[in-house]
Structure 1
Amino acid sequence: MAKPRIFEKPMGVRDFLPEFVSKKKWVEKQVEDCFRSWGYREVITPTLEYFDTVGKASAIEEEKLFKLLDGQGRTLVLRPDQTTPISRVVSTLMKEEPFPIRLCYHSNVFRAQEREAGRNAEFFQSGVELVGDHSPEADAEVVALAVEAMKACGVQNIQVAVGHIRLLNALLEHVVQEPEMIAKLKQSLGRRNLVEFRESVQSLNGSDKKQMVLSLLTMKGGQERLDQLAKMDGGKQVAEEVTHLKAMWHALEDWGVASRVVLDLSLVGSLDYYTGVYFEGYGSEGYYLLSGGRYDRLLEQFDRPASARGFALKTDRLVMASTQGPDHPERVALVYSRNMRYEAFQIANRMRRQGKAVSLFVKESDRSFDSLAGYDRVEEVIGDGNL
């Protein structure tokens, strides 16, 4: 195997230059302020976790986990997501704290990618977890907070698409009733392979069945779609899930964000992970900025069963989608002769206290200052503390 060249990096990892880093930190600050104002407290979890605990409990497929061995031969993983480690924390270090618990995070996560996929193996996320509240208001809260976090970063044309896993399951079980076909239809939706989904529907018996299942692809809208579902004779489970979803929708209206939310029953996320509401957030130019939902089964794996929901913002994409950014201080290049060094240092400190970013350069006969063109202002110390 050839030795890597000096400019090469492992597949899927990146270097970040100052301009991106500056805006990334600004985005994270806006998001953090928003989370804190809603009562969420930040936690930090390890980059390394045990495969047998967090790795196996994570919704991320095993083939996408970065695995390594510690000195005792135990398998570790690089953190593939934040929801699973936080579930571990809630169930252990915070086990005496009463529900509900509101936590938030900013971190990098790691997922192995196939060489031809061209995706990042390390990326940044900011998100929240609301644990221990089964109410529709709690579901609405994380959706509303997702909208507010995107607004805080200056994202334009925000839209959140909301699906509901239990409602989808109940509808398919009521109409299709064949477990193998239900699994096949859900897998097609999970892969967003609508051609495959329609082909599977055509194999169903009865035109009414076909029409009902195909209608899931167009079951998009707002309150009117929920009213339509409420009138449907879909059985007890469908009625219960529609009631919960309507209550959540009314809470979203009270939050003032319902106009940015659209119901989409074809939206499913990770089929084996989410148990109720699932949602995705978008901004201008179709930027896919976040995903989240309800995951009531995860905490059972850490021996503290509880309802839970949350979302993760895709920080890299949020940086690109944001129309705003940090206010950069004036960049000043301060040139001085060595006999004026003390004066130059005092001037630099005074200017820094005024909020300017000051870099110092020694004036020498053989030195060119062409590189100072990138500064907003170039000043030379000439004597008596003057410029």
Structure 2
Amino acid sequence: MSNWQLPEGIDELTGDEAIAFESTRRNLLDLYQSWGYSIVVPPMIEYSDTLVLNSKSIDDKTFKFLDSSSARMLGVHSDITPQIARIDSKHAEPNSISRYCYINAILQTKADDFYASRSPIQAGAELYGYKGTDADIEVIVLMLSSLKLLNIRNITLSLGNTAIFNALCASANLESKEITALRDIFRRKSVPDLESFLI
């Protein structure tokens, strides 16, 4: 085994691939900024409790280690979305609408599937402080514009309404822990876990 070998599922870009990636990254960030989204660069490492936000799937994918300075658990970000929630909570004016965008490498303990990377690039544009239908439409149109910019065609868009999910959970008198588990199952689209949950 060569000392220069990378760990399984960890990738690097060089030459033309690196140039193409950087060009695409710039084009996407320019698109997001043209829509009023502010670029943020979250830290690679944070306290693990703020990184996972009670999500078992994120927790399972997060590398964690003990910080010798604070004696608290730290984590390497495996998903940037919880960090954006923290940034918004810390920096946004109360009752304001905030738009954030980012493109950053993340690190995961395990890949989503056999051929996937454990160090994928995550791009996102997130809108906080406005829950109207216009906000949903804005984010969806921006996502479709992003895919068009990437020359991705033949898109299938699947939309869900969380109000239906919430109403069904309420009618079934599910506890908070059960609702969290069920959300995670639906997010992962795990039929075996859903069958086990329903038994």
Output the CA distance in 1 between the equivalents of 2:140 and 2:77.
Answer: 25
Displacement, 1:97? Answer: 6.5
CA 1:58/1:141 → structure 2, altered by over 3 Å: closer, same or farther? farther
1:38 maps to 2:35 = yes
Displacement, 1:165? Answer: 2.4
Cα distance per residue 1:274-322 (max 9 Å; x no partner): xxxxxxxxxxxxxxxxxxxxxxxxxxxxxxxxxxxxxxxxxxxxxxxxx
CA 1:169/1:109 → structure 2, altered by over 3 Å: closer, same or farther? same
Output the CA distance in 2 between the equivalents of 1:195 and 1:63.
Answer: 18
AA aligned to 2:60 is E
AA aligned to 1:89 is I
1:112 to 109, 112, 122: 109
CA 1:119/1:154 → structure 2, altered by over 3 Å: closer, same or farther? closer
CA 1:64/1:194 → structure 2, altered by over 3 Å: closer, same or farther? closer
1:151 maps to 2:148 = yes
Structure-1-length-normalised TM-score: 0.43
Equivalent residue, structure 2, for 1:75: 73
AA aligned to 2:79 is D
Contact 1:47–1:78 (CA<8 Å) still a contact in 2? yes
Contact 1:80–1:111 (CA<8 Å) still a contact in 2? yes
Q: How does 1:1-387 map to 2 (within 5 A)?
A: 5-52=2-49, 54-57=50-53, 59=55, 60-72=57-69, 73-92=71-90, 94-96=91-93, 99-113=96-110, 117=114, 119-171=116-168, 177=172, 179=174, 189-194=186-191
Displacement, 1:130? Answer: 0.6
Displacement, 1:12? Answer: 2.1
AA aligned to 1:84 is P
Cα distance per residue 1:4-39 (max 9 Å; x no partner): 632422232112232221221122122112111111
Calculate the aligned-residue CA RMSD, in Å.
Answer: 3.2
Contact 1:113–1:119 (CA<8 Å) still a contact in 2? no
For the residue of structure 1 that corresponds to 2:157, the secondary structure is: strand
Contact 2:58–2:78 (CA<8 Å) still a contact in 1? no
For the residue of structure 1 that corresponds to 2:12, the secondary structure is: coil
Contact 1:58–1:80 (CA<8 Å) still a contact in 2? no
CA 1:65/1:199 → structure 2, altered by over 3 Å: closer, same or farther? closer
CA 1:38/1:171 → structure 2, altered by over 3 Å: closer, same or farther? same
AA aligned to 2:117 is N
Output the CA distance in 2 between the equivalents of 1:118 and 1:154.
Answer: 22
Structure with more of its chain in strand, by fraction: 1
Output the CA distance in 1 between the equivalents of 2:33 and 2:184.
Answer: 37
Displacement, 1:67? Answer: 1.1
**Mind listing any 5+ residue stretches in structure 1 that lack a counterpart?**
204-387
For the residue of structure 1 that corresponds to 2:159, the secondary structure is: strand
For the residue of structure 1 that corresponds to 2:152, the secondary structure is: coil
- The percent of aligned pairs where both chains have the same amino acid is 25
CA 1:86/1:58 → structure 2, altered by over 3 Å: closer, same or farther? farther
AA aligned to 1:77 is G
Output the CA distance in 1 between the equivalents of 2:101 and 2:5.
Answer: 34
Output the CA distance in 1 between the equivalents of 2:86 and 2:117.
Answer: 26
Output the CA distance in 2 between the equivalents of 1:68 and 1:196.
Answer: 29
CA 1:159/1:29 → structure 2, altered by over 3 Å: closer, same or farther? farther
Output the CA distance in 1 between the equivalents of 2:145 and 2:137.
Answer: 12
Displacement, 1:166? Answer: 2.4
Displacement, 1:113? Answer: 1.3
AA aligned to 1:90 is D
Displacement, 1:89? Answer: 1.7
Structure-2-length-normalised TM-score: 0.79
Moved over 6 A (4+): 182-188, 195-201
Aligned length: 193
